[in-house]
Amino acid sequence: MSEQHAAQESYIYEVRHVDKSYGSVVALHDVSLGVRAGEVIGLVGDNGAGKSTLVKVLSGAHQPDTGTILLDGHEQRWRSTHQVLQAGIETLYQDSGLAPNLTVSANVFLGREIPVKGILGKLGFLADKQMDVTAHQDLESAGIGVPASNRGVSQLSGGQRQAVAIGRAVSWARKVIILDEPTNHLGARQAKEVLDVIRAAKAKGLGVIFISHTLPHILEVTDRIVVLRLGQIVRDAPTSEFDAESLLGTITGLISSS
Amino acid sequence: MSQQTTPTTAPQPPATTSRTAGASSGPRPLAQVLGNQQVILVVVLAVMVAVFSVINPKFFSVGVFGNILVDWAPIALIAIGQTFVVISGGIDLSVGSTITISGVVAAFAMQAITGAGVSDPVSILMGAVVAILTGVVVGLVNAVLINQARLVPFIATLATLGAGAGLSLVLTKGGPVGGGPPSAINLSVPVLGPLSWPVVVVAAVALIGGAFLHRARFGRYTYAIGGNQFSAVASGIAVKRHITKVYVLSGALAGTAGMVTYLTLSSGSPSSGLGDELNAIAAVVIGGASLTGGVGRMGGTILGSLILTTVTSGLIVSNIDPNWNQVVVAILIAAAVSLQTLRGSHQRRKP
């Protein structure tokens, strides 16, 4: 557990000594983790290990009971997810999905719409054409091709919807992107595309926190792996120190933490 | 959005994305036009008018159309509000009794104002303001019950439905409230063809409402919240605040409908608006909205409300027992929803 403290200074986003309980249930205990710019960390753990809670703390959906959150070394007290988005941190929640009846570009711009110029814009009228063009350009540059369409995204396949959701997060993120189970329910080919998008985000200089149960994906794309078990971090080490077997053992607790 | 658009690793566009929704440009195939709920509604409305006109040629007249539109105005107003509510994933059962109580409260206000010797136009204008504000109050109560007291919209607005109806009876002791501006009744009489002033106001409200629903941020957030509330929250939308706005809008439009109803009766009646919430919901559902939220069109609502009021008047003009009205409306609702479900299962792709 000492190696992550050595390079603490260079973390773009980190939490230190975070505790979070729901009633009598301790979801996180003394959790410290950080991600550097251009680094992909994998966050793994069994069901109930506290991954989702940690994601909620990182995305501002929940406030930790104790502990600190630092962005670029400055302490933050998130009061809303909106504040976190404004700070350049994007989160793709597990199965949060998209607004099914809005178009691809309306989804990409949801919460950050571009108004038309003038008084109509002040009333909230939207520059849909402009958003259409920009959205598809941005998705393309994130490595995602989706058909231009004026239909709701519910008309797209599950893989396409997930691609849009990830592309949306990547194109808006300025600092960090948190992906909770982005390859869930995806076929092998689509999952590979998601991993490519993660690599692209890394190349863009974003810090990526990648949560997944699919250990081969974690081993393939991450620089470092953090293992959560029963609300505590039991291992935080470069990916090169793991293989499939030792990673699984650490997650399940069959291999004790070093 | 992203400041840099560096062509990074640029993987191949997903192969899964090639074949979808190619129908967005170019001439649309006939099946798709027929699949458009609004096209079907126009046809249904036209057929209805034709059938009723054949049964009784007097039906096809400016006079009858004028009456239909006057009946339509309050229903359309609450249906427009209900469209936003239903698309946001909620329901507003209180609109019927909001018509009642806002009409009653406005009637008392105009009684006092006219009694004080104020001119009719000023009295009517102030009555309208009072009616709308009464509706806003009901909307705020609904929003507090939903957002703060955490009631589901059905229960919250069921409570205000009962409270509004009961309060109206208490205030009026069961009788109509007259003594308002004498010339108020003239306002509900057609001035140009079948058009009366309330109808012109409602048409304007429908156009503006449609623009905000389909072209502005307000509508976009309404769809987003109704379609997937979690993704709306995750997108940083202030969901509770938006829900409040939606119910206040519905209340304000119901208050406006209360004023329109006052004009047609020239008094505030504790029985006006009774059961109108179901007409509003029926109009919205016939118009293609889904009570599960996220789906609906303003054009559909307007056509749905027109069909409803046409059925009512048509049955009367055709000398058919008007009690058949509810049966016909029931059939229309069932047909509209079934059509929507069939289209949905036809179009939706499997993941």
The token pair at A246 is 């030792």
Provide DSSP, A123-186.
TTBB-HHHHHHHHHHHHHHTT------SS-GGGS-HHHHHHHHHHHHHHH-SSEEEEESTTTT-
Most B CBs within 10 Å, among A101, A144, A150, to test the B interface: A101
Q: Which of A171, A129, A52, A93 has its CA nearest to residue B228?
A: A93
Q: Between chains, do A137 and B3 touch, taking CB under 8 Å as contact?
A: no
Exposure pattern of B235-251 as b/e (b: 16+ CB <10 Å)? bbbebeebbbbbbbbbb
Q: To the nearest whole number, what is the mean pLDDT of chain B?
A: 87
Cross-chain CB nearest to B21 (options A113, A149, A200)? A149
Residue B19: is its pLDDT beyond 60?
A: no
Most B CBs within 10 Å, among A58, A84, A103, A125, to test the B interface: A125
B287 close to B303: Cβ distance less than 8 angstroms: yes
pLDDT tens per residue, range A153-211? 888 888 888 888 888 888 899 999 999 988 887 888 888 888 988 998 999 899 999 99
Q: Which helix (H) or strand (E) holds B59?
A: none
pLDDT of res. B35: 61
Q: Between chains, do B351 and A159 touch, taking CB under 8 Å as contact?
A: yes
Cross-chain CB nearest to B21 (options A112, A134, A147)? A147
Q: What angle do CA A222, A201, A128 make, to 5 degrees?
A: 145
Q: Which of B300, B299, B282 has its CA nearest to residue B291?
A: B282
Residue B27: is its pLDDT beyond 60?
A: no
Residue A38: is its pLDDT beyond 90?
A: yes
Q: How confident is the model at residue B337 (pLDDT cuts 50, 70, 90)?
A: confident
pTM: 0.86
pLDDT tens per residue, range A50-78? 998 999 999 998 999 999 999 999 999 99
Q: How confident is the model at residue A231 (pLDDT cuts 50, 70, 90)?
A: very high
pLDDT of res. A240: 94
What amino acid occupies position A70? L
A248 close to A235: Cβ distance less than 8 angstroms: no
B97 close to B273: Cβ distance less than 8 angstroms: yes
Q: How confident is the model at residue B188 (pLDDT cuts 50, 70, 90)?
A: confident
Residue B9: is its pLDDT beyond 80?
A: no
The token pair at B32 is 């798709």
What's the average model confidence in pLDDT over A215-220?
94
Q: How confident is the model at residue B28 (pLDDT cuts 50, 70, 90)?
A: low
- A181 DSSP 8-state letter: S
pLDDT of res. B4: 41
Q: From A186, which residue of chain B is nearest by alpha-carbon distance?
A: B351
The token pair at B216 is 């502005």
Cross-chain CB nearest to B234 (options A96, A145, A204)? A96
Query: How remote is the C-alpha of B105 from its chain's centroid?
Result: 22
Q: How confident is the model at residue B31 (pLDDT cuts 50, 70, 90)?
A: low
Q: How confident is the model at residue B351 (pLDDT cuts 50, 70, 90)?
A: very low
Q: Hey, which of A88-97, A147-156, B248-257 has the most confident mean pLDDT?
A: B248-257
pLDDT of res. B185: 87
Count how many residues are written for chain B.
Answer: 351
E-strand ranges in chain A read 11-22, 25-36, 40-45, 66-71, 74-76, 89-92, 176-180, 207-211, 224-229, 232-238
A147 close to A134: Cβ distance less than 8 angstroms: no
Q: How many CB atoms lie within 10 A of CB B126?
A: 18
pLDDT of res. B349: 40
Q: Which helix (H) or strand (E) holds A85?
A: helix A81-86
Comparing B174 with B244, which gets the higher pLDDT? B244
pLDDT tens per residue, range B51-99? 999 999 999 999 999 999 999 999 999 999 999 999 999 999 999 999 9
Residue carrying structure tokens 């027109």: B306
Q: From A105, which residue of chain B is nearest by alpha-carbon distance?
A: B220
d(CA B155, CA B110) in angstroms, rounded, equals 33
pLDDT of res. A70: 94
Q: What ipTM was estimated for this complex? A: 0.82
- B268 DSSP 8-state letter: B
Strand partners, A26: A21
Tell me the CA end-to-end span of chain A in Å, nearest whole number: 8
Q: How confident is the model at residue B32 (pLDDT cuts 50, 70, 90)?
A: low
Q: What angle do CA B206, B68, B189 make, to 5 degrees?
A: 90
Which of A225-229, B11-15, B215-219, B328-332 has the lowest average pLDDT? B11-15
pLDDT of res. B345: 57
Q: Between chains, do A172 and B215 touch, taking CB under 8 Å as contact?
A: no
pLDDT of res. B258: 97
Q: Which of B170, B348, B137 has its CA nearest to residue B254?
A: B137
Q: To the nearest whole number, what is the mean pLDDT of chain A?
A: 89
Question: Which strands sit side by side in the sheet containing A25-36, from one edge to the other?
Answer: A25-36, A11-22, A66-71, A74-76
Beta strands A25-36 and A176-180, pairing class:
unpaired
